[in-house]
Every structure is written in structure tokens, then in C-alpha cells.
Amino acid sequence: MDLQLSGRVAVVTGASKGIGLAVVRTFLEEGARVVAASRKSSAELDALAGTDLVHVPVDLTDPEAPGQVVARAVEEFGGLDVLVNNAGGPPPGAKLPRFGFLTPTDADWREMFEFNLFSAVRAIRAAVPVMLGRGGGAIVNVSSGVARQPAAMNVDYSAAKAGLNNLTKALSEEYGPQGIRVNTVSPGPVLTAWWTEEGGAADIIAGQAGTDRESVITTVAPQMMGLTTGRLVDPQEIADVVALLASPRSGSTTGTEFAVDGGFLKAV
């Protein structure tokens, strides 16, 4: 199926690995021109280098950074059609999961909201005027299933993602009549470095459960999170939905949340 993304200009944040990298790769395969934003590049992102890809090294917790990324898209490719707010998860230097409400400090809460909510707010604020000048566009916010199914861990992260969901609905109402569609993709646990790297989520949970990293990834985490599929989500499965929502073929889809979570969310 032709997603009609050829020649369109996309900004993808958190683009050097995991979901963001899969989104960048998918957009390039569909013929889009991509500005990839992340604190640093990666071997996998460098392997995609070409005339249709520009990497912008930024720390998105810097209030000026999201606007700089959008400006770079205009400078390099003449405009912006698609914005994917994927950057999120543990802020720089933080490790998740954190257990219990009393664990995160005020500073932890501020850093979490800066990275997972305010960076998206600022990117959207910069992108909207550019998109309006081109007659419309598509914004996809990458949220999380815990925005609607929180638990007694990562409470600050869950709250920030709930805010992102609410923001998506508000933006879709305001800008839908002007041609900008805004949607959310809510992953469950995804098999990325957040889980697999040394000291990451799998190691932290393994320490709590008295097991090892591999057992957490293959068995403990899917059981703990009630995943119907019995496995963590593959990043490409998220990227495929993001690409469809970015496509003009989803022209009547806005203000909607798509769960790609292995059956994590159980509510009707």
C-alpha cells in the first residue's frame, strides 16, 4: 500500500534508537525526507545517511531545542508536513522503573515532564505555523499505555503521558478544521534499550524479582504486565502505525489513540 509519504518532510524526535529509529527508517523507505533529532547519533542511524536524512544533535529538555529542530526542517527541506513526538522515557541520567509515589522528588517530576510533555508542547508550538502555511499536516504523539492504566511505579511518567494524551485531543479539536491531524500511539512495553541495556528496566526488575535480565524480558515482564501476546512489542510494530497515521490515507483520523501494546490495556 502506497502511504503517499513520498517527498513529504518529517521531523522525528528520539530518533537514534528504538521506536524513533524504526520510524525514521520506515519514513525513508516510503520516500519521505526526515529530520532526525536526538542527543547523539547511533551506528544504526548513521547507516541510513543520505540526501533525505538530516540528523540534528539536541537535548530536547532545552526549551530552545524543539524549535531549532523544526527550523532545521524548513532550512533543509523547505517546510514540514509530519511531526512525530517520540522522545520520552527516562530523562537523561534517570533510570526506570521507580517504585512508589514517594520515590520521585520534585526535581524528578520536573525532569520527567520536561522530557515527556514539554518537549512535545514546544515542538508542536514551532510546527503548527509551518504546517498551517502548507495547508495542513500530521502530528503523531508517542504516549504509553500507562497513561490510561497507571500503577504504583513510574507515577511521574504515567502522569506526563496522560497529559500528552489530553493535549492530543485538544489540538485535534483546534487545528483539525485547518488541516492538521493530531493522533496518539500508545505502546506497551517495547523491546528497546530502555529494557535491554545494562542497568535498564530489565535489570532493575530482575533485582526486585530475584531473577536475570533475559527471564524478565521473555517471561517476567510479559506476565507482570498481562500481555496477551506473551511478548514485548517490536519497535517496527509501532513505526508501522505511526507511518499510517502520518499518511494522507488516514485523512479522517484525528484525535484518536491507537494502542500497540500486546494486549496490555484491558479497559473497554
CA angle, residues 197, 215, 212, in degrees to nearest 5? 65
Q: In angstroms, what CA-CA distances link 104 with 60, 157, 173, 174?
A: 21, 10, 34, 34
- 243 vs 240: CA distance, rounded Å: 5
Catalytic residue from among 118, 157, 175, 194? 157
Cβ proximity of 233 and 260 under 8 Å:
yes
CA angle, residues 142, 91, 63, in degrees to nearest 5? 80
- 175 a catalytic residue: no
Alpha-helix residue ranges (DSSP H) falling in 104-234: 106-113, 119-133, 155-175, 193-196, 201-209, 213-215, 221-224
Phi/psi at 241 (5° precision): -70, -40
Maximum CA extent, the chain? 56
Phi/psi at 83 (5° precision): -125, 125
- 217 vs 195: CA distance, rounded Å: 8
Cβ proximity of 142 and 24 under 8 Å:
no
- 227 vs 216: CA distance, rounded Å: 13
Cβ proximity of 153 and 97 under 8 Å:
yes
- 240 vs 242: CA distance, rounded Å: 5
Q: Known catalytic residues? A: 157
